[in-house]
Structure 1
Amino acid sequence: MHTASWRTAYAGILPADYLAGQVEADHANSWRALLADRVTAGMFVAEADARVVGFAYLRPVGARILLDNLHAHPGARGQGIGSRLVEAGLGWAGESFPDREVYLEVLTANTAAIGFYESRGWQRTASGTVRFPDGTTVAEFEYTWRGVAPRTLIAAPDTNVTDPELR
């Protein structure tokens, strides 16, 4: 699902040959490394009709918490899944690491994601570039959550968001 999300969200932003090929292996390698790391992380999964329709992954990086991944299945976008996953992740971060701020990085050309984050109160705090394994370099923004972390999760009908904590 991660790769499917990238192939639609980053079409026209990242090279088409990278999205059609190497990105799948890069994601597999990245997830192997993330899941092998023994750091406490938060993984949240949204399910509908017994299938995964979205996920969020947060992890400590230095003195902050990185919202490292937030993806909804391409066919499930616009249904509030991302909002509920972010809410669950912020709640986890607020309870697990109350003195740390949460941040994320988003490609500057990903205007849909930028609109999503800004409409929910995230504030742009930095800019830079990111280099992908294929050598592509793309501009990105950093956004930081300055609000109070939600303490409850409100799930939509027919969508189950779970929060297994990885250790």
Structure 2
Amino acid sequence: MPASYLDGPLRDQQAGMWKSRLAPTAQRDGDMAGGHLLIAEHGMDLLGFAYLIPGHDGRILLDNLHVDPAHTGGGIGRCLLRHALTWAATTRPGQSVYLEVLRDNTRATAFYAKAGGHATAARLARFPTGFELPEIEYTWHADAINAYATGH
């Protein structure tokens, strides 16, 4: 991803998105209404977070799953994913959960595959400034969600 995008437009786009997501429900955009934020913390330290958005297509988008780089490999991502899938199984039974990840993020793609996600699509992600990067969609179907969420 170009540094000029990371240091400029991405920062502004992300700030606007999170301001909207964390606003009171009445102020949210349609696609963000009903979103669910999970936070992993230790004391006052934010270790990671996940955000889920129920879609109009009967699926749930796991739009963000991030762990502080200083805490990767310690099970925080696994815990956040388990809680995300548990939330999906409990509040939206029968719906699948999916996410989109850049293909070259091999650490993340390996994590999602090991966690039972199935690569269900490959495409080019188009970014607001016009560049494209290959991405993979990973999906957890309802039966896999129940198994992963309960640890079976």
TM tier, shorter chain?
0.7 to 0.9
The residue type equivalent to 1:126 in the other structure is A
Q: Deviations over 1:29-54 (max 9, x none)?
A: 12233342362121100002321110
- Identify the structure with the greater helix proportion: 2
| TM-score, normalised with respect to structure 2 | 0.84
Q: Which residue pairs with 2:96 in the alignment?
A: 101
Cα displacement (A) at 1:78: 1.2
Residues 1:37 and 2:29 are matched in the alignment: yes
Give distance in 1, aligned partners of 2:48 and 2:18: 16
* Match 2:52 to one of 41, 47, 58: 58
With CA pairs under 8 Å and 6+ residues apart, which has the higher RCO, 1 or 2?
A: 1
Contact 2:52 2:60 in 1 (8 A): yes
Q: Deviations over 1:73-94 (max 9, x none)?
A: 1211111111000000000000
Identity value in percent: 42
Give distance in 2, aligned partners of 1:91 and 1:48: 21
Contact 1:26 1:133 in 2 (8 A): no
The answer to which of 86-95 and 126-135 deviates more is 126-135
Contact 2:96 2:145 in 1 (8 A): no
Residues 1:148 and 2:134 are matched in the alignment: no
* Match 2:75 to one of 67, 80, 93: 80
Residues 1:23 and 2:18 are matched in the alignment: no
Give distance in 1, aligned partners of 2:87 and 2:42: 22
Q: Which residue pairs with 1:116 in the alignment?
A: 111
Give distance in 2, aligned partners of 1:55 and 1:105: 16
SS of 2:53's partner is strand
